[in-house]
Amino acid sequence: MSDTQLHERFAPVFQRIAQGAVQREQERTLAFDAVGWLKDAGFGALRVPRSQGGLGASLPELFALLTELGSADSNLPQIVRAHFGFVEGRLVSQDRDSQAYWFPKVVAGQLWGAAMAERSDTTTNSVTLKPTAQGWQLDGQKYYCTGTLYADWIAVAAADGADFISVVVPTDAPGVTRVDDWDGFGQRLSGSGTTRFEQVVVPEHQVLRRFKPGELRAESYISAFYQLFHLATLAGIARAALRDAVEFVQGRTRAFGIPGQSSPRLDPLVQRVIGKLSSLSYAADSLVQATAQVLQTTHEAVLDGSISEAHYVDADVRTYQAQQVILPLVLEATSLLFEVGGASATSQVRRLDRHWRNARTLASHNPAIYRERALGDFYLNDVSPAAAWRAAQEQAVADHPEHASARDEASAV
């Protein structure tokens, strides 16, 4: 499908999602209906090749649609983030058997969530996978399980002794409990709460990957892919801030300091704010698309066998650089929009504050200060972000071998 065809296919769904966004926020109504509309429209199969029943979207096309979706409701791209990470992992692996098994489920509308992180005083992995007569048994608890409330499957990071294991389990499997206890002040509907596993039976074919202590994962652009998901969502929030500011101003008939009725839309100062918001939104959109093209180039190199370390370095560096610009840019936009309306813009009926709260919450998921330092190390010392990460992992294993199974979320796809 072309960009235009994809937009035409999903634009009505996005519009429908946008219509209920404020009400869902006010009532904290979980977005089951909205997720269902996306599934029915085949959104989850965007990256599955057409030859395997999917829509065959490129990465720039995917991230353009995610930005549109983020403008409609920024919870939705985050809800499906783990799903697209799972699909991308299958694409990158080029494991035909794995694709043949899992892609039909994706095309059928099934959705993946993730259970990677834990709330503890270390980054250790306390969820365990142990052998049983039925295959394997999964036990433990995860938090920040984004999207899992809405999912059909969960990608789980577990430990088998000192080994790191990635598995997938159905959300309706006996022993799986999903809890709606995410308490962040933003992204309140993303389903990022607790998931418990109590004697969950895991068949062998649901064990995806295993890493031995100290074994490093193969180079990949998946970490950059995950980060760009947040950046596309933030770009969508900037679009929403512009849209809502324009709508607010166009409906007003009074302005600060002017007696009687007036037209704020004709006020040069208000026009200046709208102009700035439009520029911030455009900049965020442009950076997301430019970075998505870098990832697309890397993906194509993986498929045609021309991949090199330089591709992966470029994907990480460009994504980190985009993050450094997009985060403050969108936070500025979501605060600046209040300059067009005075106190009436703070009405809870409009919930314009959700844009800043959601942007601030997303910006906190992967702290920018660490990426900024990594960029400095790269330019000053020619140490790539991946090399720095590997060195840190090796040192952590040497210092604390009991935590050797801890991994980042990209390892679980």
User: pTM of the entire structure?
Assistant: 0.93
CA dist 50 and 105 (Å) reads 14
Q: Enumerate helices (H) and strands (E) in the chain, giving the number of each.
A: 13, 8
Say what the pLDDT of residue 362 is: 96
Residue 206 near residue 167, CB atoms below 8 Å: yes
Which residues have a Cβ under 8 Å from the Cβ of 282 and sit 6 or more positions away? none
Tally Cβ neighbours within 10 Å of residue 347.
12
Place of tokens 């900049």: 283
For the stretch 72-129, pLDDT in tens is 999 999 999 999 999 999 999 989 999 999 999 999 999 999 999 887 666 668 899 9
Tally Cβ neighbours within 10 Å of residue 213.
12
Written as tens digits, the pLDDT of the chain (413 aa) is: 788 899 999 999 999 999 999 999 999 999 999 999 999 999 999 999 999 999 999 999 999 999 999 999 999 999 999 999 999 999 999 899 999 999 999 999 999 999 998 876 666 688 999 998 878 999 999 999 999 999 999 999 999 988 889 999 999 999 999 999 999 999 999 999 999 999 999 999 999 988 887 665 677 899 999 999 999 999 999 999 999 999 999 987 556 555 555 678 888 999 999 999 999 999 999 999 999 999 999 999 999 999 999 999 999 999 999 999 999 999 999 999 999 877 888 888 889 999 999 999 999 988 899 999 999 999 999 999 988 887 877 776 676 665 554 445 544 45
Element (H, E) at 194: strand 194-202
- Dihedral angle, C-alpha 126, 132, 137, 140, nearest 10 °: -30
**What are the residues facing 156 on neighbouring strands?**
115, 167
Counted residue by residue, the chain has a size of 413
Say what the pLDDT of residue 342 is: 75
Say what the pLDDT of residue 348 is: 85
Q: ∠ CA 132-136-137 to the nearest 5 degrees?
A: 90
Q: ∠ CA 114-151-34 to the nearest 5 degrees?
A: 120
**What are the residues facing 176 on neighbouring strands?**
197
Distances (CA, A) of 85 to 82, 204, 406: 5, 21, 19
Say what the pLDDT of residue 349 is: 86
Say what the pLDDT of residue 126 is: 87
Say what the pLDDT of residue 257 is: 53
Say what the pLDDT of residue 367 is: 83
Output DSSP code: residue 152: S
